[in-house]
């Protein structure tokens, strides 16, 4: 438990707890910067970024550090579905950097993989990005995370990927990309 959880649970002011900590009578665990960022977003009912979702998938125990917001984190993880079953193959992973630079052949490699796993119901950017980046080790992920968005942007420009995505307005009035399997023609 951190100082804020103890303050809430036992109805003791944070100031009083800080004085006890300063006097050496109490010691509180310091949440990692990543966990603090996750809690900040979950408190406000916001979507966790891809890097946070990847951390939760890599280390499922981190969810308990979110304390009373753990269920919100679990809900976002459940929305991703079975990530490990649809992870990107090595060809798609290797194409991220080139596709981010605008290489149509590399973007097509990512598109081919994505078309093969897309569900009928629309899914968001996080659903795709997590599957694309999860197989990479943490150092590679850090380098590829900013490039993944550009790679997906260039992939959406391909004529062969038209009809597999749409841009919709969310509740906050911002544009959001949704990916889905093409609907069969009704004859």
pTM confidence score? 0.80
Question: Are 28 and 2 spatial neighbours (Cβ–Cβ below 8 Å)?
Answer: yes
Round to whole Å and give the CA distance between 66 and 72: 9
* Count of all residues that appear for the chain in the document: 187
User: Which residue ranges make up each domain of the chain?
Assistant: 14-80, 83-179
- What percent of the chain lies above the pLDDT cut of 70? 94
pLDDT at res. 142: 92
Q: Where on the phi/psi map is residue 15: left (φ > 0), alpha (ψ -120 to 50), or beta?
A: alpha
The model's pLDDT over 156-169, given as tens digits with 9 standing for 90+, comes to 999 999 999 999 98
Per the listing, tokens 């009083």 go with: 16
């Amino acid at each position: 438990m951190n100082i804020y959880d103890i303050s809430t649970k036992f109805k003791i002011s944070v100031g009083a707890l800080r004085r006890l900590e300063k006097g050496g009578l109490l010691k509180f665990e310091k949440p990692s910067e990543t966990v603090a960022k996750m809690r900040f977003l979950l408190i406000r009912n916001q979507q966790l970024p891809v890097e946070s979702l990847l951390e939760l998938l890599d280390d499922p125990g981190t969810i308990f550090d979110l304390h009373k917001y753990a269920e919100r984190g679990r809900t976002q993880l459940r929305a991703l579905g079975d990530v490990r079953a649809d992870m990107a193959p090595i060809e798609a992973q290797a194409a991220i950097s080139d596709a981010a630079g605008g290489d149509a052949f590399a973007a097509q490699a990512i598109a081919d993989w994505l078309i093969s796993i897309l569900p009928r119901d629309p899914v968001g950017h996080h659903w795709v990005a997590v599957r694309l980046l999860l197989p990479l080790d943490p150092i590679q992920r850090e380098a590829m995370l900013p490039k993944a968005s550009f790679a997906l942007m260039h992939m959406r420009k391909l004529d062969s990927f038209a009809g597999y995505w749409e841009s919709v307005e969310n509740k906050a009035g911002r544009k959001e990309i949704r990916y889905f399997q093409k609907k069969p023609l009704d004859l």
